[in-house]
Amino acid sequence: MKIIGLVPVRNEAWVLPHSLASLSGFCDIIIVSDQNSDDGSREICRHFPKVVLLESAESRISTQVRWQLFDAARGYDGCNLMWCTDADELVAPAAARGFFAARRDDLKPGTIVECMFVHPWHSPVRYREYHWGYAPQFKALAFVDDRRMDYDRSRPNSIHEPRVPIDSARAVLRAGELHVLHLQWLLAGRTQMRQAWYRCRELLDGRPARAINEDYATTLPDPGVRTAEMPAAWLEGLTFPDLAIDRQQSWNERDILAWFNEHGPAFFERLEIWHIPVLRQAFVRRVGRRPRPDRSYRPSWPVRAALFGRRLAAAVRGRL
């Protein structure tokens, strides 16, 4: 059984040297599908001997890219383990090697592997400790291909499909020893711009702004986030990008500003994206006033006050 890493990439030079080094420590093959990057991502891939680079002249959404990667991995004989990762995810290589060696008998064809998914929070040594969406939790990130499994390919334009073919799985193996560090929240500025990109993309696809805002509300900046120190074992053998990259323009920002030029910023007014200074400034400059996003999904102020009171009382009780 080979371990094959499957990685969709678009302008990920900021983190690729670190993620490919992590993957090279436990994967036999790493298949990267690059979606027309212009930041040197392809050149970085060529420095890693285990990488097989698929180059695309167009930018597909992640769902379609994962299908392409899976189809390419099927070119290798056997019932192989597919490690379905993003470029901004790291796992300690020694921990991964140890787990797969120790649990080899449990990795039967058709088995999905769920790992602990952890969010470092504005620092590589601290992670978000409590939150229903961003606390450490199990996430299906790998599977052993039985040569019959496949994704549900009926929603090619959806950007929120499962990483693995869950519907055709026969068993689930939980890997509580494997902590996959999702670096999305390591860079606060880029993270907010990426979440704005998702909102804009869904609006362009015809989804109502109110529903989009409600779904993405948990990604808005939260000054009250609780974090904890990262255990050393989770970081063993890993390196991290320079946080100064957060001050540079991302491809998400370039896409959004291009959409503003094509559709006008007023088209996106109802989205909750205007807490990002560069987007708010672009709106005011073009429209001549401050934007008014749709926050109708939020409870009324008496309801919010009651909820706050209950949370405050619970916090006080917890300290007694």
Asked whether the beta carbons of 60 and 68 are under 8 A apart, the reply is yes
Bridge partners, residue 139, by sequence: 115
Treating both helix axes as pointing N-terminal to C-terminal, what angle do 251-263 and 277-287 enclose, rounded to 10 degrees?
Answer: 20
- Per-residue model confidence as pLDDT tens digits over 256-305: 999 999 999 999 999 999 999 999 999 999 999 999 999 999 886 665 56
* DSSP helix/strand/coil, 269: coil
For residue 107, which of 88, 80, 70 has the smallest C-alpha distance?
Answer: 80
Residue identified by tokens 């807490």 is 275
Tell me what the pLDDT averaged over the chain comes to.
92
Asked whether the beta carbons of 145 and 50 are under 8 A apart, the reply is no
Q: Mean pLDDT across the stretch 8-14?
A: 94
Q: Mean pLDDT across the stretch 225-248?
A: 94
135's tokens: 């606390």
132's tokens: 């229903």
Asked whether the beta carbons of 139 and 112 are under 8 A apart, the reply is no
State CA 205 to chain mean position distance. Answer: 20
CA terminus-to-terminus distance, the chain: 54
Question: Is a pLDDT exceeding 50 seen at residue 167?
Answer: yes
What angle is formed at CA 159 by the lines to CA 2 and CA 13, rounded to 5 degrees? 65
Rounded Cα distance, 199 and 271, in Å: 7
Rounded Cα distance, 47 and 17, in Å: 9
Rounded Cα distance, 285 and 200, in Å: 19
Rounded Cα distance, 89 and 118, in Å: 9
Rounded Cα distance, 310 and 160, in Å: 33
Q: Mean pLDDT across the stretch 28-35?
A: 96
- Per-residue model confidence as pLDDT tens digits over 41-84: 999 999 999 999 999 877 788 889 999 999 999 999 999 999 99
Domains of the chain, with CATH numbers?
A: 3-185 (3.90.550.10), 187-287 (no CATH)
